[in-house]
Amino acid sequence: MELRANMVNATGCVNVTCNDRVTGSAEYWLNITSIKMKYPILNVTKTATPTNVMIGGTVNFTITIQNIGNTTAYNLNITDVLPDNFAMFSNSTNCLSDLSPGAVCTLNITATVGDNASFGPNNNRVIVTAKASTGDTVAGYANATVTVSQFEYPSFSVIKTTNATNNTIEVGGSIEFTINVTN
């Protein structure tokens, strides 16, 4: 918004009566108590489900955009770069080019975690931009973090026992084995 101060030459009444003419210049100061802005404001949230995943797993990112301003956000642009070695599997959206005041749109992205993804936290950031009616750019952003865990290999223990005395059995006899497996 731009406010301009100007010097004004005025002719008018300064006393109780308007019979006298007054000419000249003076400075006037304006105190602004409130300004109602007419601008779109983008409120962006992002979630990841699940937040912990292993290599080869699938993650669903949900991006929600709401215009909490009082004018339309024009030419909505959503930029979402997945973490390294995450691959987009599918996406769906109800977001249009423009977002009216109070309107909400959602973008869903399903990604798979590649073999070379970094273990530990992986941040995914979305940046949403749009134009105000003035042509100014407005923006909002959000993050979601997914932790990639290493695959834990099972640790098996196998114990096999028999009911045979001294581990011997006669020809034609029967034997019973018990196998215990623990992880």
Residue 28 is predicted with a pLDDT of 57
Does any domain span residue 1?
A: no
Summarised one tens digit per residue, pLDDT across range 165-176 is 777 777 877 888
Does any domain span residue 72?
A: yes
Does any domain span residue 135?
A: yes
CB atoms within 10 A of CB 106: 14
Does any domain span residue 2?
A: no
Does any domain span residue 32?
A: no
Residue 67 is predicted with a pLDDT of 96
As to burial, measured by CB atoms within 10 angstroms (0-12 exposed, 13-18 middle, 19+ buried), residue 180 is: exposed
Domain that holds residue 101: 42-149
Does any domain span residue 49?
A: yes
Summarised one tens digit per residue, pLDDT across range 113-149 is 999 999 999 999 999 999 999 999 999 999 999 999 9
Pairing of strands 177-182, 42-49: unpaired
Residue 27 is predicted with a pLDDT of 61
Handedness of CA 67, 69, 75, 79 (dihedral sign): negative
Cα(108)–Cα(24) distance, integer angstroms:
66
Q: Which of 29-33, 64-68, 176-180 has the lowest mean pLDDT?
A: 29-33
Residue 74 is predicted with a pLDDT of 96
Domain total for the chain? 1
CATH number at residue 124: 2.60.40.1530
Summarize the confidence of residues 100-122 as an average pLDDT. 94
pTM of the model: 0.64
Does any domain span residue 169?
A: no
Summarised one tens digit per residue, pLDDT across range 5-53 is 444 444 444 444 455 555 666 665 555 666 667 889 999 999 999 999 9
Does any domain span residue 20?
A: no
Does the structure show a pLDDT above 50 at 2?
A: no
